[in-house]
Structure 1
Amino acid sequence: MKKLKPIEKLILEVIIKFDSKANELINILGTEFDLDLSKDHPFGKLITRQNNLWKGSLPNNWNYHFHGSHCKFENEFTNQILDVTINRGKNYGIFVDSSLYWFIEITNDLNHIYEKIKTREILTDCLNILEKEKYIVDIGEFGYKSLILNKERNNESENK
């Protein structure tokens, strides 16, 4: 395994932060609506527009709304946005380069990283290295890339 460059380490930190926040928000949603997140389709009662639960507010100034296979979370005060995939089992930290770039761009405490990458191409290059080194894995289907943090690999590197 090759040693990561500083920018690659920063992007890995962003991915860890994204994964953590996505799972935190999904758990808040689950608690608010008494959802069993271990079920195959835990959001069934929320995604239908008939009951008007497909959008609403959560604690800590977060709003949510379901669209297709995603749930978009937006913070009223910080304007931070996370678009979380909900149809891949318990893998709520799924991202693609564009959604991760957007997360970096609009998250205030990640401005220093946005200033370093400036373009999606730099981010994509870092993601390719992180995938090659197995810090992230592609769980996409049918040629569609869906990246997620490889928690086993990151636990290994933390324990070294």
Structure 2
Amino acid sequence: MIRKTDIISINSIKELPSLERIKSIPREKTLKLVFENEVKSKREKIGENLKKELLGFQVGIHTIEPEINIAKLITDEEIVSNQDFFEQCAKDYRELGKVLLFKLINKLNLKLNEDFPLGTFNALKSGKKQIGKVENWKYFVHGFHCGFENKTTGQTIEVPLVFGLEFGDLDPYFFTKYIKSTPNYKPLPIEIYEDYADGIRINEKMISLGKFERISSNIGNHFGIVVTDREKVNIKSCEELDEQNEKQNKQVGNSKFNIWKFLGLKK
């Protein structure tokens, strides 16, 4: 569903809509405040105040145009009402990610580092195999993920590579994009308009409901979110990986492996 936008020209502070009026805007609409010459200079201050007052809203202060865009985000009540749907989406995401990743591993004849999958896929980033196809899916290895897009349906999913054999990390943006691109979920029981901001609210509320939980990754100070009802796997920390590789390298006379150096970061 495409949102409609109400546009209000602001020529003076008195013409600003009240907080009550802004809060009454349904999620199906957005509000654009256009500041005319005399009040342009006050736009940023007004926008920052609106951010503090409008909890549960996305307030965007345009960096070039003299405008503020306001959108109501998915509510706690909507998430609670659809918690079973979001939980099933998370389970499906985890399963599909695992299936696709192993299809790619088999096609490219890779030896998977089960403790640290990124160690296997990082090598693809500098060659022709970084981008390609596996069955009816296009894939692209980038960052901490391997992305897949179905060539027929347009369904997309980003499979994480820094949680050991846990492939269900729900990045808020990637998770909502997956939901919106999955044919079997249409029509959606609840609209998702702001992929990242709505995704954050969905994840946080699902955590508070006990449906999702946070997990640590192979990378220090990097965490993920996964569905709680799952078969849990052990995820080694970067310190454990360093210690494990140090022992292995001593056995073969190599220098110490360091995950931060491997990623191009000093430590």
| Alignment TM class, shorter chain as reference | 0.7 to 0.9
Structure-2 separation of matches of 1:12 and 1:150: 9
C-alpha displacement of 1:153: 8.4
Matched, 1:73 2:148: yes
Matched, 1:136 2:225: no
Q: Which residue of 1 aligns with 2:192?
A: 118
Amino acid at match of 1:18: Y
Q: Which residue of 2 aligns with 1:51?
A: 127
Calculate percent identity across the aligned residue pairs: 18
Matched, 1:22 2:97: yes
Contact 1:73 1:81 in 2 (8 A): yes
Q: 1:9 to 1:45 in 2, by over 3 A?
A: closer
C-alpha displacement of 1:38: 5.2
C-alpha displacement of 1:89: 0.9
Superposed CA RMSD in Å reads: 2.8
Contact 1:16 1:149 in 2 (8 A): yes
Q: Paired residue for 1:34, among 100, 109, 119?
A: 109
Moved more, 47-56 or 5-14: 47-56
C-alpha displacement of 1:25: 0.7
* 1:111-130 residue CA offsets vs partner (Å, 9 max, x unmatched): 222x5133456654443332
Q: 1:40 to 1:105 in 2, by over 3 A?
A: same
Q: Paired residue for 1:93, among 156, 160, 168?
A: 168
Number of residues of Structure 1 aligned to a counterpart in Structure 2: 148
Moved more, 16-25 or 47-56: 47-56
Structure 2: which 5+ runs fail to align?
Answer: 1-78, 233-267
Matched, 1:150 2:249: no
C-alpha displacement of 1:9: 0.7
Structure-2 separation of matches of 1:19 and 1:96: 12
* 1:89-136 residue CA offsets vs partner (Å, 9 max, x unmatched): 1111111222111111222222222x5133456654443332123322
Moved more, 47-56 or 8-17: 47-56
Q: 1:67 to 1:124 in 2, by over 3 A?
A: closer
Q: 1:107 to 1:145 in 2, by over 3 A?
A: same
C-alpha displacement of 1:12: 0.6
State the secondary structure of the residue aligned to 2:210: coil
State the secondary structure of the residue aligned to 2:176: helix
Q: 1:108 to 1:53 in 2, by over 3 A?
A: same
* 1:26-75 residue CA offsets vs partner (Å, 9 max, x unmatched): 1111222233445334454543344321111102x111111111111111
Contact 1:134 1:153 in 2 (8 A): no
Amino acid at match of 2:190: K
Runs of 4+ in structure 1 deviating by more than 6 angstroms, as ranges, are none
Q: Relative contact order (alpha carbons < 8 A, sep ≥ 6): 1 or 2 greater?
A: 1
Amino acid at match of 1:137: E
Structure-1 separation of matches of 2:120 and 2:204: 37
TM-score by length of structure 2 reads 0.48
Structure 1: which 5+ runs fail to align?
Answer: 155-160
C-alpha displacement of 1:152: 4.5
Kindly name which structure, 1 or 2, has the bigger radius of gyration based on alpha carbons.
Answer: 2
